[in-house]
């Protein structure tokens, strides 16, 4: 088992979404479901040779894209997100924040959905959350929307469906890229810039 569900909800996800002025029960549940599916609520922070990091298993190239392609056009929001990161370590090792800083990782996970124009989700519509996760967050072919629903049932709603064998995104053999990707050598900066990051 990973992080206590209630503590993750009340001490990490909820205050982070409120800091970003985007809290809703549905978005809170979507992020909880994402953490349940991706890492068993933090049981794994890095799975084998997979590239994802932290409780949401966010990949470094996705992290770069959020800064280089989305936050670059939202300076006030970028400032709020940057305020959640470490002052010095973020500049030297930005991707490590995904594994070591729960509130920062939560903000980036929320931004992945936000950049995909996910603004609202019904707090009880687990099937819709599963579709959103599979369409916008999922990294590979191993797990399905049904796996998200099973993870949600086992770890969040305390059900235990017997036909669910958990498969996590970290088990994917080949990453499935969606949309434009930043150059592999791109680096994050503390402040978004209009210049390409070198």
Sequence ranges of the domains in the chain: 5-168
**Residue 12 DSSP one-character state:** I
Per-residue pLDDT tens over the stretch 34-73: 999 999 999 988 876 668 999 999 999 999 999 999 999 9
What was the pLDDT predicted at 146? 95
- Cβ atoms of 22 and 113 closer than 8 Å: no
Per the listing, tokens 């994050």 go with: 188
For residue 197, what is the DSSP state? Answer: P
CB atoms inside a 10 Å sphere around CB 129: 27
Among 28, 98, 91, residue whose Cα is nearest residue 63: 98
Residue 85's CB is within 10 A of a number of other CB atoms, namely 20
Q: Given this model, what pLDDT does residue 88 score?
A: 80
pTM here is 0.80
Q: Which residue has the tokens 């924040």?
A: 97
C-alpha to C-alpha distance for 139 and 175, rounded to whole angstroms = 5
Task: Kindly provide the residue ranges of all beta strands, DSSP E only, lying in 39-186, ordered along the sequence.
Answer: none
Helix, strand or coil for residue 58? Answer: strand
What pLDDT is attached to residue 64? 95
pLDDT tens profile 145-168: 999 999 999 999 974 444 455 555
Query: What is the chain's mean pLDDT, rounded?
Result: 83
Residue 84 has pLDDT above 50, yes or no: yes
Q: Which residue has the tokens 């936000």?
A: 114
d(CA 53, CA 130): 20
* 3-state SS assignment for residue 73: helix
Residue 1: pLDDT band (50, 70, 90) is: low
Residue environment code for 150-189, b if the CB has 16+ CB neighbours within 10 A, otherwise e: bbbbbbbeeeeeeebeebbbbebeebeeeeeebeeebebb
Question: Which residues are registered as beta bridge partners of 53?
Answer: 58
Token pair of 109, please? 């996970």
Contact between residue 68 and residue 197 where contact means Cβ atoms under 8 Å apart: yes
Q: How confident is the model at residue 75 (pLDDT cuts 50, 70, 90)?
A: very high
């Amino acid at each position: 088992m990973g992080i206590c569900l209630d503590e993750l909800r009340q001490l990490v996800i909820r205050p982070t979404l409120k800091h970003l002025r985007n809290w809703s029960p549905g978005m809170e549940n979507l992020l909880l479901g994402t953490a349940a599916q991706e890492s068993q609520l933090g049981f794994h922070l890095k799975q084998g040779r997979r590239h994802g990091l932290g409780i949401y298993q966010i990949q470094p190239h996705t992290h770069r894209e959020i800064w280089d392609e989305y936050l670059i056009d939202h300076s006030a929001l970028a400032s709020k997100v940057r305020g959640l990161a470490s002052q010095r370590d973020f500049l030297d090792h930005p991707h490590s924040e995904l594994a070591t800083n729960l509130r920062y990782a939560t903000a980036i996970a929320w931004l992945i959905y936000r950049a995909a124009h996910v603004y609202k989700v019904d707090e009880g519509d687990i099937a819709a959350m599963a579709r959103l996760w599979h369409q916008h967050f999922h990294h590979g072919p191993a797990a399905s929307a049904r796996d998200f629903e099973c993870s949600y049932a086992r770890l969040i709603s305390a059900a235990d469906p017997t036909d669910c064998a958990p498969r996590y995104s970290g088990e994917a053999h080949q990453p499935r890229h969606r949309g434009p990707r930043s150059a592999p050598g791109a680096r994050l900066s503390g402040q978004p810039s209009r210049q390409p990051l070198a």
